[in-house]
Amino acid sequence: MDKYVIEGGRPLYGEVEIQSAKNAVLPLLAASVLTDEQVVIRRCPRIADVLNMVQILGELGCKTRFEGDALVIDPAAAANHEIPPALARELRSSVFLLGSVVARFGRARIAYPGGCDIGLRPVDLHLRGLRRLGVDVREEGGSIVCACEGARGAEIVLDCPSVGATENILLAAVTAKGSTIIRNAAREPEIVDLQNFLNRMGGKIAGAGTSVIAVEGVRRLHGTEYTPLPDRIEAGTFLIAAAMCGGKLALRNVKSENLASLVHKLREISCKIHAKDDKIYIECGARRTPKLIETSPYPGIPTDLQAPMTALACICEGSTVIVENLFETRFKHVPELIRMGADITVRGRSAFVRGVPALHGADVCASDLRGGAALTLAAVSAEGCSTVVDLGFIDRGYSDFEGKLRAAGARIRRVRV
Ligand code: UD1
């Protein structure tokens, strides 16, 4: 196990290259088994979640290889419909494979998926959606078993706009017979990316990015090459890093319109931000209070940036209320921030943060992906020395997090424990 050793308190300067979006790449990888032709994902980040998904594709019989930063997938020989339980537990996104594997092979088996422990995270909406498409879904000893003679299009109304359920249903519906309508669909940009990818493979999908998505089933899909959209959560993390540390950062490979709610909040606390082409620039000095930060589905403040925003609120003037509307137990970073001198009280899904002039160094422990990133930013901005352990969580979603921070002037080292 590795840890970060961080000497905090230096401003950040320079340019950071943003990776392709983890949450776009994972469903694209699941979609690749829908064809027997070659699929190439350009600019594919080598983060742990992606590497786990690649391993699962290998277990299904796909041949995969990296050529530079492009991932080449040859699904021609895929024949296995069972996702190994150990891998499924590593990665929540393995559940997307239900939709695509059952569409290709007529059956699928997967252990209940894992992922970061940030709340209950049920998959009932995924399973209900698949059932509406004519898939027989059973639960057998901790596994989900699906069988289907041939999926049929249907109208599906989601109880809440779940990102994963919307994606899973799209993957099963794209080759179903007839038309499917998904109402109350999630509107995240990563769903638009999945629609674009499937349409490049020959799918007929329209409406992604709105709450109604229409799918006209096609008989077969073909191979394609695709560059996924930039990672708005990684970009948001670095914008918050600049807001916490001060200095001036430029981020490259950014779609700034996907970051509007965060940019609005950061401007409120007095950061100067502007965007041009695929770059976004931030400059930050003193920080006013953001007052209220409330997570909500896109285009609201993403729950995945709640932990970094909480770290930022710790060193803003005045008090901030943070409300987490998506997940039940997504405040595990708070006790660790308190060890660094933060003044925070948590009640249910709300955190009350009273700003302090600066955090101080401490030995802290990551317990989920975004919480781990938040603690790293807190340590990079804090006075004195910190260590952050359990980097496996951070590696799930950020490629070379420490290298990018170091190149911007942070004193951060990764060392073997
Ligand atoms: C995805 C993202 C994750 C992000 C989240 C919310 C990926 C790989 N992960 O996760 O980074 O934090 O969206 O933006 O894209 N729910 C149910 N039943 C279900 C499914 C979800 O009740 O069957 C609830 C969840 O408990 C949660 C809410 O719906 O309260 C939103 O979850 P969802 O959008 O499904 O998140 P994920 O797809 O797991």
Residue among 49, 162, 190 whose CB has most ligand 1 atoms within 8 A, to mutate: 162
Q: Is the CB of 126 under 6 A from ligand 1?
A: yes
364: enclosing H helix or E strand: strand 363-365
Q: Which of 116, 284, 314, 316 is catalytic?
A: 116
Q: Which two tokens stand for residue 23?
A: 């949450």
List beta partners, residue 111: 143
Q: What is the Cα–Cα distance from 333 to 314, expressed in whole angstroms?
A: 12
Taken in order 308, 311, 315, 318, the sign of the CA dihedral is positive
User: Which pTM value belongs to this model?
Assistant: 0.96
Q: Which two tokens stand for residue 185?
A: 């669909």
237: enclosing H helix or E strand: helix 232-245
Sorted by sequence, the CB contacts under 8 Å of residue 141 that are 6+ apart come out as none
Examine the residue annotation and report whether 284 is marked as an active-site residue of this protein: no
Q: Is the CB of 124 under 6 A from ligand 1?
A: yes
Q: Tens place of pLDDT for every residue, the chain, 417 residues?
A: 899 999 999 999 999 999 999 999 999 999 999 999 999 999 999 999 999 999 999 999 999 999 999 999 999 999 899 998 888 888 888 888 999 999 999 999 998 876 666 555 789 999 999 999 999 999 888 889 999 988 999 999 999 999 999 999 999 999 999 999 999 999 999 999 999 999 999 999 999 999 999 999 999 999 999 999 999 999 999 999 999 999 999 999 999 999 999 999 999 999 999 999 999 999 997 788 888 999 999 999 999 999 999 999 999 999 999 999 998 878 999 999 999 999 999 999 999 999 999 999 999 999 999 999 999 999 999 999 999 999 999 999 999 999 999 999 999 999 998
